[in-house]
């Protein structure tokens, strides 16, 4: 751990180029909602002050040092997609002024000519990251201030913070009191295995090599390390911490969520990534009652409904198929497809913004099913599924979208797959979000890997669609949720509410039995908002409507 941390020391707060800000010292825990976005120090707020006269040297430095997708690879037309892209080591820093101008171009660009120009110069440079893990399976990892420094270099405008909510406990070590060096759920010698090499026996061996136990502390940790980072408002505005430390199979997870929000108000934006079905992981998960799509799904459904009442989006990892089914039955009948459709289309989910991770449940070993894009199309065009989004995260997934194995087992670009994915995204441009799924990256190229891999796909999108996928949808789906969560915390989650409803010894208006009922919570929320004269975003409602 110490070597990891010291190697990062050079990217810590001293490099952050922070604009002056004294607001945070007076109120370090102030709720960070949309109000903060109007802060004059915010990356999007101070453009008027920027001149147009930055030197061309500075401009070229900017381009050379901030391109997320600049990797030397050619597109599908050039037919070369390197599997691991070395990005030249980058040095130097971008000035805050230039950064502000660049970010404004990608965030607020709307007219077509500007976007097309942007596509050539800046648009590919910046993305927001809807799927990022700062910590790994032993709860070590990159700090918020280190994230920001790396985001500037990689070209990530905003990012979620999704702590891994399980601890890995390796099995079979001769000394049980000794902490072995593994920090991932797949042993190192198995990590680069190709999909076809994963036999049932080998999968069994991996599954038995470790246990994963839920760590519900991770969200308090997120809040703690955010506080300790001493971020300015402008820096804080680029991060969206997410709640992940929830036992999805427990009927108490909804109450746990409310407690976390009450404990650290102003911190969290959404929930996830949380995991239902995941190759290997679901077999390593320690303890009974893991949530699934069949006989233990109700607690998770209630959590999803509760998230909808609060206004939090939910990022869900659920493999569309299982490795076992694919070995036995091929790629034509994904085992979990009907179950996930039922879950997403259930009454509990319909008022919640759902983000199905990994391009609809593709995995490291779970292959992209035949007809996957058509299966997704059916979901996305269903009027009952308007709340469903898809993140395209994970370099392993990107690889399956843009590459295929030829008859000799050699990987080569897959133009048909790229076209099919581009077509689907273009049909539903407001439903897809860029995500890296980087896990405690120690190098820029690790964070940039997914984006680099997707270059052939992103190049197929129009500037407008690409802008939505990389920036616009994050603003709407993730940033747009902040104000709702802040309003819920302020007007609903009062101390009185917590004492009366979350820890009562008898029945309350919100529940008949031991668990809060989401629809009753919704009614309580609406009553609290009405009493305060605000809408769900906390904005005053004019008296005329009462």
The residue (of 302 and 437) whose beta carbon lies closer to Zn ion is: 437
Binding residues for Zn ion, total number by CB under 5 A: 4
CB 155 within 8 A of CB 125: yes
Number of C-beta neighbours around residue 205 at 10 A: 12
User: Using CB under 5 A as the criterion, what x/- string covers residues 155-194 for binding Zn ion?
Assistant: ----------------------------------------
Which positions from 313 through 332 interact with Zn ion, judged by CB under 5 A? 317
Rounded to a whole number of angstroms, the minimum distance from the CB of residue 366 to Zn ion is: 11
Rounded to a whole number of angstroms, the minimum distance from the CB of residue 433 to Zn ion is: 13
Q: Cβ-closest residue to Zn ion?
A: 317
The residue (of 16 and 164) whose beta carbon lies closer to Zn ion is: 164
Can you point out the beta strands (E) in 394-494? 403-405, 411-413, 432-433, 438-439
Stretch that binds Zn ion, among 92-100, 145-153, 354-362, 421-429 (CB under 5 A): 354-362
The residue (of 137 and 488) whose beta carbon lies closer to Zn ion is: 137
Residue 336 contacts Zn ion per CB under 5 A? no
CB 434 within 8 A of CB 129: yes
The residue (of 273 and 348) whose beta carbon lies closer to Zn ion is: 273
* DSSP secondary structure letter of residue 500: I
CA distance linking residue 136 with residue 209, whole number of Å: 17
Rounded to a whole number of angstroms, the minimum distance from the CB of residue 81 to Zn ion is: 22
The residue (of 37 and 133) whose beta carbon lies closer to Zn ion is: 133
Which positions from 420 through 439 interact with Zn ion, judged by CB under 5 A? 437
State the pairing for strand pair 156-161/127-129. parallel
The residue (of 357 and 390) whose beta carbon lies closer to Zn ion is: 357
CB 315 within 8 A of CB 388: no
Which positions from 222 through 241 interact with Zn ion, judged by CB under 5 A? none
Rounded to a whole number of angstroms, the minimum distance from the CB of residue 391 to Zn ion is: 9
Rounded to a whole number of angstroms, the minimum distance from the CB of residue 502 to Zn ion is: 29
The residue (of 163 and 538) whose beta carbon lies closer to Zn ion is: 163
Rounded to a whole number of angstroms, the minimum distance from the CB of residue 127 to Zn ion is: 16
Residue 104 contacts Zn ion per CB under 5 A? no
CB 395 within 8 A of CB 450: yes
The residue (of 104 and 273) whose beta carbon lies closer to Zn ion is: 273
Nearest residue to 425 (alpha-carbon basis) of 475, 495, 357, 376: 376
CB 237 within 8 A of CB 37: yes
Long-range contacts of 475-478 (CB under 8 A, 24+ apart): 475/107, 475/128, 476/430, 477/130, 477/313, 477/353, 477/355, 477/389, 477/433, 478/128, 478/130, 478/158, 478/160, 478/240, 478/269, 478/270, 478/313, 478/433
> In the structure encoding, which two tokens stand for residue 227, read together?
């506080």
The residue (of 348 and 437) whose beta carbon lies closer to Zn ion is: 437
Rounded to a whole number of angstroms, the minimum distance from the CB of residue 75 to Zn ion is: 27
Stretch that binds Zn ion, among 34-42, 91-99, 272-280, 324-332 (CB under 5 A): 272-280
Query: Token pair 């949720």 is at which residue?
Result: 481
Rounded to a whole number of angstroms, the minimum distance from the CB of residue 317 to Zn ion is: 4
CA distance linking residue 58 with residue 497, whole number of Å: 54
Give me the residues that bind Zn ion (CB under 5 A), please.
273, 317, 357, 437
């Amino acid at each position: 751990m110490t070597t990891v941390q010291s190697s990062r020391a050079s990217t810590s707060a001293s490099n952050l180029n922070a604009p002056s800000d004294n607001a945070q010292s007076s109120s370090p825990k102030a709720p960070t909602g949309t109000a903060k976005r109007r802060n004059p120090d915010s990356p999007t707020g101070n453009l008027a002050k920027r001149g147009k006269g930055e030197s061309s040297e500075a401009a070229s430095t900017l381009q050379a040092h901030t391109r997320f997708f600049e990797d030397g690879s050619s597109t599908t037309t050039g037919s070369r997609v390197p599997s691991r892209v070395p990005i030249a080591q980058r040095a130097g820093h971008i000035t805050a002024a230039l950064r502000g101008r660049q970010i404004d171009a990608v965030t607020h660009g709307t007219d077509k000519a500007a976007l097309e120009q942007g596509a050539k110069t800046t648009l590919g440079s910046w993305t927001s990251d809807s799927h990022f893990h700062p910590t790994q399976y032993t709860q070590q990892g990159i700090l918020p201030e280190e994230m920001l420094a790396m985001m500037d270099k990689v070209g990530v405008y905003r990012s979620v913070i999704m702590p891994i909510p399980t601890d890995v406990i390796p099995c079979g070590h001769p000394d049980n009191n000794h902490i072995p060096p593994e920090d991932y759920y797949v042993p190192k010698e198995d990590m680069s295995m190709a999909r076809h090499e994963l036999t049932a026996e080998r999968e069994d061996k991996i599954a038995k090599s470790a246990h994963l136990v839920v760590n519900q502390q991770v969200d308090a940790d997120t809040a703690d390390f955010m506080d300790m980072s001493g971020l300015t408002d402008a820096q804080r505005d680029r991060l969206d911490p997410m709640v992940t430390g929830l036992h999805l199979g427990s009927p108490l997870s909804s109450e746990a969520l409310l407690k976390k929000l009450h404990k650290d108000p102003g911190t969290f934006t959404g929930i996830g990534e949380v995991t239902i079905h995941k190759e290997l992981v679901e077999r390593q998960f320690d303890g009974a009652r893991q949530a699934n799509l069949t006989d233990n799904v109700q607690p998770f459904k209630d959590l999803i409904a509760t998230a909808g009442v609060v206004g939090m989006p939910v990022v869900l990892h659920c493999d569309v198929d299982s490795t076992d089914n694919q070995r036995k039955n091929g790629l034509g009948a994904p085992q979990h497809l009907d179950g996930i459709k039922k879950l997403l289309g259930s009454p509990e989910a319909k008022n919640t913004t759902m983000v199905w991770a990994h391009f609809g449940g593709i995995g490291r070993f779970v292959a992209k099913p035949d007809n996957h894009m058509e299966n997704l199309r059916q979901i996305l065009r269903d009027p009952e599924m308007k709340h469903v989004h898809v993140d395209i995260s994970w370099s392993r997934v990107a690889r399956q979208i843009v590459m295929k194995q030829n008859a000799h087992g050699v990987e080569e670009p897959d133009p048909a797959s790229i076209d099919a994915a581009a077509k689907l995204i273009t049909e539903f441009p407001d439903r897809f979000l860029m995500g890296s799924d980087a896990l405690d990256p120690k190098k820029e190229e690790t964070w940039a890997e997914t984006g680099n891999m997707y270059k052939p796909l992103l190049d197929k999108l129009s500037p407008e669609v690409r802008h939505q996928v990389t920036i616009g949808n994050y603003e709407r789906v993730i940033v747009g949720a902040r104000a709702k969560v802040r309003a819920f915390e302020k007007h609903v989650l009062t101390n009185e509410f917590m004492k009366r409803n979350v820890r009562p010894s008898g029945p309350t208006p919100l529940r008949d039995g031991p668990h809060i009922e989401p629809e009753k919570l919704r009614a309580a929320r609406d009553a609290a908002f009405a009493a305060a004269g605000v809408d769900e975003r906390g904005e005053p409602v004019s008296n005329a409507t009462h």
